[in-house]
Structure 1
Amino acid sequence: MIDLVDADRLRDLTLELVSVESPTGDTAEVARLFARRLEQIGMDVEVLDEAFPATPIVIGRLRGGSAGPTVVLDGHLDTVPIPHAPPTVEGGVVYGRGTADMKGPLACAVETARVVKERGQFPGELVVLATGLHESPGGRGEDLAWLLREHGFEADAVVVCELGGDTFVAAHMGLATMEITVSRPGQATHELKTAAGSPHPITAAGRVIEAFAARSEELAKQQHPLVGSETYFLGEVHGGDFYNRFPTECRLVGTRRWAPGNDYAAVDAELRTLLAGVAEETGCAIELDLRLVRECYEIDPSHPLSTALRGAYEDVTGEELPVAGVKIVADAAFFHGDCGIPAVYHGPIGNGAHGDVESVPVAELVRATKVYLRTLERLWA
Structure 2
Amino acid sequence: MGVDADRLRDLTLALVEVESPTGDTAEVARLYARRLEEIGLEVELLDDPFPATPIVVGRLRGGEPGPTIVLNGHLDTVPIPHEPPRVEGGRVWGRGSADMKGPVAAATEAVRVVAESGRSFPGELVVVAIGLHEAPGGRGEDLTWLLGEHGFTADYAIVCELAGDRLVAAHMGQATVEIEIRRDGMPTHELQTAAGTPNPILVAARVIEAVRKQNEELAATEHPWVGAETYFFGEVHGGDFYNRHPATCRLVGTRRWAPGNTLGAAQAEYDELVAPIAAESGCTIDVRLELVRDAYSVDPEHPLAVALRGGYEEVTGEPLEATGMKVVADGAVFQAVGGIPTVYHGPRGEGAHADVESIAIEELARSARIYLATLERLWAGA
> Which band: TM-score by shorter chain?
over 0.9
The residue type equivalent to 1:42 in the other structure is G
1:12 aligns with 2:6: no
Q: 2:37 aligns with which of 17, 36, 39?
A: 39
1:81: which partner in 2? Answer: 79
Residue 60 (str. 1) matches residue 58 (str. 2): yes
Give the CA deviation at 1:281: 1.7
Provide the C-alpha distance between the structure 1 equivalents of 2:337 and 2:297, rounded to a whole number of angstroms: 12
Q: 1:281, 1:9 → 2: CA distance?
A: 65
**Aligned counterpart, 2:216:** 217
CA shift for structure 1 position 294:
0.3
Partner of 2:316: 317
- How far apart, CA to CA, are the structure 2 residues paired with 1:6 and 1:80? 28
SS in 2 for 1:35: helix
Partners of 1:216 and 1:373 in 2: CA distance: 43
Q: Which runs of 5+ in 2 are unaligned?
A: none
What letter corresponds to residue 5 of structure 1 in structure 2?
V
The match for 2:265 is 266
**Contact 2:39 2:116 (C-alpha < 8 Å) held by counterparts:** no
Deviation by residue 1:187-216 (Cα, 9 ceiling, x = unmatched): 111212111111110111011001100110
Q: Distance in 2 between matches of 1:218 and 1:339?
A: 34
Q: Percent identity?
A: 68
Moved more, 238-247 or 319-328: 238-247
| 1:339 CA displacement | 2.3
Q: List, as ranges, runs of 4+ consecutive aligned residues in structure 1 with deviation greater than 4 Å.
A: none
Counterpart amino acid of 1:91? G
Q: CA deviation at 1:90?
A: 0.6
Q: How many angstroms does 1:337 deviate by?
A: 2.6
Q: Distance in 1 between matches of 2:366 and 2:85?
A: 22
CA contact (8 A) 2:165 2:320 kept: yes
1:249-264 mapped onto 2 (5 Å cutoff): 249-264=248-263
The aligned runs of 1:62-141 (5 Å cut-off) are 62-119=60-117, 120-141=119-140
Cross-structure match for 2:287: 288
C-alpha separation in 2, matches of 1:36 and 1:65: 24
SS at structure 1 position matched to 2:300: coil
Shift, 1:334, TM fit:
0.7
For structure 1, which segment, 17-26 or 193-202, has the greater mean C-alpha deviation from structure 2 after superposition? Answer: 193-202
Q: Output one character per residue of 1:95-134: Cα deviation in whole Å (capped at 9) or x when no partner.
A: 0000010000000111111100122211110000000000
CA distance in 2, matches of 1:244, 1:55: 46
In the TM superposition, what whole-angstrom CA distance separates every residue of 1:45-96 from its partner, at most 9, and x where no partner exists? Answer: 0000021000000000000100111000000000000000000011101000
- Aligned letter for 1:333? A
Alignment correspondent of 2:365: 366
Deviation at residue 351 of structure 1 after TM alignment: 0.3
Counterpart residue number, 1:180: 179
Greater shift in the superposed pair: 211-220 or 273-282: 273-282
Partners of 1:180 and 1:117 lie apart in 2 by 51
More displaced 10-residue stretch of structure 1: 115-124 or 319-328: 115-124
Cα offsets for 1:227-284 (capped at 9, x unmatched) = 1100000000011112221111111000000001101110011111112221012111
- The CA distance in 2 between the partners of 1:338 and 1:225, in whole Å, is 25
Distance 2:201 2:163 in 1: 42
CA drift at 1:302: 0.4
Distance in 2 between residues matched to 1:309 and 1:19, nearest whole Å: 31
Amino acid at match of 2:79: P
Q: Which deviations, in whole Å up to 9, do the C-alpha atoms of 1:312-361 show, x marking residues without a partner?
A: 00000000011001100000001123322100000000000000000000
Q: Distance in 1 between matches of 2:337 and 2:326?
A: 19
Q: Give the 3-state SS of the residue equivalent to 2:259 in structure 1.
A: coil
CA shift, 1:299, in A, is 0.5
| TM-score normalised by the chain length of structure 1 | 0.98
Match runs of 1:348-359 below 5 Å = 348-359=347-358
Unaligned runs of 5+ in 1: none
What secondary structure sits across from 2:234 in the alignment? strand
TM-score under structure 2 normalisation? 0.98
Verify: 1:246 aligned to 2:242, yes or no: no
> Could you give the per-residue CA deviations for residues 145-177 of structure 1, whole angstroms, max 9, x where no partner exists?
000010000100000000010111010000000
Report the secondary structure of 1:4's partner residue: coil
For 2:103 and 2:62, the matched residues in 1 are separated by 23
> For residues 52 and 192 of structure 1, what CA distance do their matches in structure 2 show?
52
Letter in 2 for 1:92: G
Opposite residue 280 of structure 1, the aligned amino acid is A
Q: RMSD over aligned Cα, in angstroms?
A: 0.8
